[in-house]
Amino acid sequence: MEKQFSYVWRNKFLTLDAESIDDMIAGLEGAADYLQQMKDAGVVLDPNSDIGHDFAMLVTSDPSVAERFDFDPDEEEEEEED
């Protein structure tokens, strides 16, 4: 099984510091650009992600992509052999 890496993408705070509509637009465009960079690198939305709660789980199996975007390794429960 390939090692997976994940990143929690939060939508809630994208425009938190906005003081104008232009600030809101810039924040959302910046987020969209960053997501496009991730997509271009092969990152995908975890099919089990519940995006209805202002966050999404993004995943990759490529260690260099995980390092580039600061993904965390998924915790895997190791089975003990008897």
- Do the domain assignments include residue 81? no
The SS3 of residue 64 is helix
Give a yes or no: residue 28 inside a domain: yes
Q: Where are the alpha helices (DSSP H) in 1-82?
A: 21-40, 63-68
Residue 36 lies in a domain: yes
Q: Residue 24: inside a domain, yes or no?
A: yes
Q: Is residue 25 part of a domain?
A: yes
Confidence band for 81, pLDDT divided at 50, 70 and 90: very low
The domain of 23 spans 5-73
**Each residue's pLDDT tens digit, 42-62:** 999 998 887 777 889 999 999
Alpha carbon separation from 17 to 11, 13, 26, 52 (Å, rounded): 13, 8, 11, 22
| Number of domains the chain contains | 1
Within-domain flag for 47: yes
Structure confidence at residue 1 (pLDDT): 63
Residue 80 domain flag: no
